[in-house]
Amino acid sequence: MTNDRPTILDSFIHQFHPKKQIVKLLDIEAPSLRGVLDTMFRLTIAALFLAVIFVSLYGTGWTTVDQLPQNIADQSNIKALGVLIFTDFVVPFEILSIVLLSSLIGAIYMAKGDDN
């Protein structure tokens, strides 16, 4: 099996490969002002988003129950979860299974390609 063609995983690993980074370091290219500004701009947007969420989070009085967990003796709620799925939410559950199956079939068909 001598397949020199890089796989999709290679292109991902490529970025962390030390050799590649050294080459990148050697042909020294000062980070362009525009690139730095771009990164700062995006960081600022993310930080502003976070700030807005935090302000609205701490400015709201969330009504919660007094004590957690409600049932001290049995803290696991897996059983109730399963009962709920198979009684109230059985139709969405079945639809979800069909969605998952069809999307996986489609993904495998797309990823298989034509060559094999």
Partner 1 sequence: MIPLNWYLALSAIVFSIGLYGLMTHKNGIRMLMCVELMLNSANINHVAFSSYNDDMTGQVFALFSIALAAAEAAIGFAILMSIYRMRDMIDVDKLNILRW
Please report how close the Cβ of residue 35 comes to partner 1 at its closest, in angstroms.
Answer: 10
Which residue lies nearer to partner 1 by CB, 74 or 106?
106
List of residues contacting partner 1 (CB under 8 A): 6, 8, 11-12, 15, 39, 42-43, 45-47, 49-50, 53-54, 57-58, 62-65, 67-70, 77, 80-81, 84-85, 89, 92-93, 96, 99-100, 103-104, 106-108, 110-111, 113
In the chain, what's the furthest Cα-to-Cα distance? 65
Sign of CA dihedral 46, 48, 51, 56: negative
Which residue lies nearer to partner 1 by CB, 21 or 103?
103
Please report how close the Cβ of residue 39 comes to partner 1 at its closest, in angstroms.
Answer: 6
Please report how close the Cβ of residue 30 comes to partner 1 at its closest, in angstroms.
Answer: 19
Closest CA to 5 of 79, 113, 107: 113
C-beta of residue 88 within 8 angstroms of C-beta of residue 81: no
| Residue 14: partners with Cβ closer than 8 Å, 6 or more residues away | 6, 20
